[in-house]
Structure 1
């Protein structure tokens, strides 16, 4: 497996970087944050992403997508990380699209996947129920009712759930709360009776939602995949999300490093640039090496997903854990080497630090993925 980009992938990377730098730079995040925008992203940007094929990058061409796969999706997510761009790309184009493409019925695919590719739909995954990521801890119940089910329970940290046109909800149709078996995925209309959605602002100035379901009626046609067989679909989507989050954190780390190098070259102390001091050179060299390692493990995870490698879950967890630590190091070092100005809201570097922290916790932190790799490898 070559850990280098093809010519087509380089074109995707260059296009994505130029697009987000021009249309969704950090200044847009600052503007939306200061305005307390209830949507949390620019819908015009989402439409432009569809025009370039970004919204449907991982969706098969038969359903209006680009069909370019997870490496291309990761390159887009890396550009998003470099610019801290706000969009429902992760929630909709990665998580929801993966579930629907893998497990959706013919009708669900024909109805929803073209809508995602055209940026006409935002679909949010509602899976987490605990403050710490535990994907198979599902207490939300789905009780048989008529020709379908009634859903009751609470979900937290639902990315873009506050503006979703559809929700994909993990609920338990059988088994105990922490069992893998017995989880079913359902399509839910957020406007249905019994659905309550509360917007929650996160530390990185992004919006998520808390979802409460009180006897929400769904039909049998709303089941994605088989009844009680949703765990595999959920895990596949989360691994795609984890690999893409690793790519985003790689973008965060790389941009933080570039900003820091620029500062080291221009900030003077004792009559010369502070980058001339050997202690700071050593720290910068260490960070450069760590970012290069992060690039390799991220690309490995994305390629493994595209190739259907049975070890893809291990690589996805490895990438999520490693790049999370690298992003933390990169943003810490950036703030330290910027000095006092790095602690102010006027400087952009603080936004990168906050995003690195939030992304590292989303869908499992270093400890979660270390434990997961150990379990997969039967340690």
Structure 2
């Protein structure tokens, strides 16, 4: 399978990266952390003007009509910038599921215009992100995926990541628009993509610090004890990227093995982000644990997303069940099936 990024995808990704690097700085994160709402109308407006809410919305409804493979590339950039707004939930998870359901052209147009936000509720999570500002909810009842409007009532909860706005679940209701598994798999995939972007951001911060922090008359990045730890984390990050792309293709094609590929992606991305967070802390030394170092914003997001949409045990169990149960044959004869 060819995972080479096309010129159009590279241009889009770089454009989003450059934009977010200019407007979603650590200073912005600190300002959000100091605010009551942890949200910014200006940030959301900027994301809308970039066209991000409509990435996966069809062109007929004012979107760009891009693919899930494009979505994971953009999700990684959202993670890299530490974006707190619920753009990933609405644009990269809810939108394609609503498109697949059909008959929701008005809502899709509102999503593309940045006027509608969709919260995601699933039994695997004991919370719902950004429910307080959501206009709609995708939730699960039985084996069905339900879509309904939301009036804004919600009970705020605490999170290890102060920039996440988590709320207690509400009773699921609404119109059936799909199956329950589709929400879990799409959300876990986008979480995995964000985790890789977060890991890349922490790698950049750790590398910059290692180049600038001197000890014994030379940068600490010249010491093998630092270089080897960073190199190990880089390998985990790079190995996770094609796994995520493979899962995106499997979901797009409706492959029967897509859930297993998604679980593989979530595990690989979470392990990479966890390893990178530990390495970044160690590289920064005692400073790595302090609020004054920007690193903590990305570490907390990594810790939160690692357990979202199925933790390590959940996804490992899905892979074990498929391999041991024979649903996913392994070995040389099946590598490229």
Q: Which residue of 1 aligns with 2:245?
A: 299
Q: CA deviation at 1:337?
A: 1.2
Rounded Cα–Cα distance in structure 1 between residues aligned with 2:50 and 2:91: 13
Residues 107-139 of structure 1: CA deviation (Å, up to 9, x unaligned): xx12211111110011112223xxxx27xxxxx
Do the aligned partners of 2:236 and 2:271 also contact (CA within 8 Å) in 1?
no
Structure 2 gap segments, 5+ residues each: 327-337
Do the aligned partners of residues 359 and 184 (structure 1) sit closer, same or farther apart at CA in structure 2, a change above 3 Å counting?
Answer: closer
Q: Which residue of 2 aligns with 1:19?
A: 19
Which of 125, 128, 132 is the matching residue for 1:162? 132
Q: Secondary structure at the match of 1:337?
A: helix
Q: Secondary structure at the match of 1:357?
A: helix
Rounded Cα–Cα distance in structure 2 between residues aligned with 1:71 and 1:212: 31
Do the aligned partners of 1:168 and 1:188 also contact (CA within 8 Å) in 2?
no
Do the aligned partners of residues 308 and 9 (structure 1) sit closer, same or farther apart at CA in structure 2, a change above 3 Å counting?
Answer: farther
Residues 147-179 of structure 1: CA deviation (Å, up to 9, x unaligned): xxxxxxxxx41111011112223234xxxxxxx
Q: CA deviation at 1:184?
A: 5.2
Do the aligned partners of 1:98 and 1:237 also contact (CA within 8 Å) in 2?
no
Q: Is 1:350 matched with 2:320? A: no
Q: Which residue of 2 aligns with 1:320?
A: 266
Do the aligned partners of 1:100 and 1:224 also contact (CA within 8 Å) in 2?
no
Which of 166, 188, 195 is the matching residue for 1:208? 166
TM-score by length of 2: 0.90
Q: Secondary structure at the match of 1:243?
A: helix
Rounded Cα–Cα distance in structure 1 between residues aligned with 2:141 and 2:256: 26
Rounded Cα–Cα distance in structure 2 between residues aligned with 1:332 and 1:341: 13
Q: CA deviation at 1:290?
A: 1.3
Do the aligned partners of 1:16 and 1:75 also contact (CA within 8 Å) in 2?
no
Q: Which residue of 2 aligns with 1:239?
A: 185
Residues 282-339 of structure 1: CA deviation (Å, up to 9, x unaligned): 1122112111101221222223333443332221111111110110000111001100
TM-score by length of 1: 0.80
Report the structure, 1 or 2, having the larger strand content: 1
Rounded Cα–Cα distance in structure 1 between residues aligned with 2:308 and 2:316: 15
Residues 220-253 of structure 1: CA deviation (Å, up to 9, x unaligned): xx4133xxxx5x2x32222122111111111111
Q: Secondary structure at the match of 1:310?
A: coil
Task: Identify the range of structure 1 (9-18 vs 197-206) with the bigger mean alpha-carbon deviation.
Answer: 197-206
Which of 240, 255, 258 is the matching residue for 2:201? 255
Q: Is 1:113 matched with 2:108? A: yes
Q: CA deviation at 1:281?
A: 1.7
Structure 1 gap segments, 5+ residues each: 135-155, 173-180
Q: CA deviation at 1:26?
A: 2.7
Aligned structure 1 segments of 4 or more residues deviating by more than 6 angstroms: none
Q: CA deviation at 1:269?
A: 1.0
Q: Secondary structure at the match of 1:187?
A: strand
Higher CA-based Rg: 1
- Between Structure 1 and Structure 2, how many residues are aligned? 324
Do the aligned partners of 1:322 and 1:366 also contact (CA within 8 Å) in 2?
no
Report the structure, 1 or 2, having the larger helix content: 2
After TM superposition, list the pairs within 5 Å mapping 1:145-294 onto structure 2: 156-172=126-142, 181=143, 183=144, 185-190=146-151, 196-205=153-162, 206-213=164-171, 222-225=174-177, 230=178, 232=179, 234-294=180-240
Do the aligned partners of 2:136 and 2:147 also contact (CA within 8 Å) in 1?
no
Q: Secondary structure at the match of 1:167?
A: strand
